[in-house]
Amino acid sequence: MSPYSLSPKDRLAQLGERVRQLRMQRALTQQELAERAEISRKTLIRFESSGVTSTGNLLRIAVALGADEPFDSLFAAAAYSSLDEALAQSEAPSRQRVRRRS
């Protein structure tokens, strides 16, 4: 099944489940991970079961699990698909402010 065919709710639930699996692979209890991530155990339990949490808590959990590298590329600018595209982008005029009249 393609991840794009899932609803946002289902994708969040999968994310919570992947965190649970990674926590278990690292042999961490929910309490241990919650302490490392500086969140409450209840917040972690809710996240693992539903995938719902704040972005800040998600980042804390990822850092505590050593899985925060993908955050560096989240919403990153797309790479050029060709040399022509890269050159065209560099030739685009830069925007400048209009000077105020005195």
Q: Which H/E stretch holds residue 93?
A: none
Residue 100 lies in a domain: no
CATH number of the domain that residue 29 is part of? 1.10.260.40
Residue 97 has a CB neighbour count (10 Å cut-off) of: 5
Is residue 101, in this structure, part of any structural domain at all? no
At 44-91, the pLDDT tens digits run: 999 999 999 999 999 999 999 999 988 888 877 777 777 787 777 766
Domain assignment present for 98: no
Residue range(s) defining the domain that contains residue 25: 3-91
- Residue 99 forms part of a structural domain: no
* DSSP codes, 29-81: -HHHHHHHHTS-HHHHHHHHHH----HHHHHHHHHHHT--GGGGGTTPPPPPS
pLDDT at 92 over 60: no
Total domains present in the chain: 1
Q: Residue 82 has which token pair?
A: 């060709």
Query: What DSSP character marks residue 82?
Result: S
> Is position 97 within any domain?
no
43 in a structural domain: yes
Residue 93 in this model has a pLDDT that exceeds 80: no
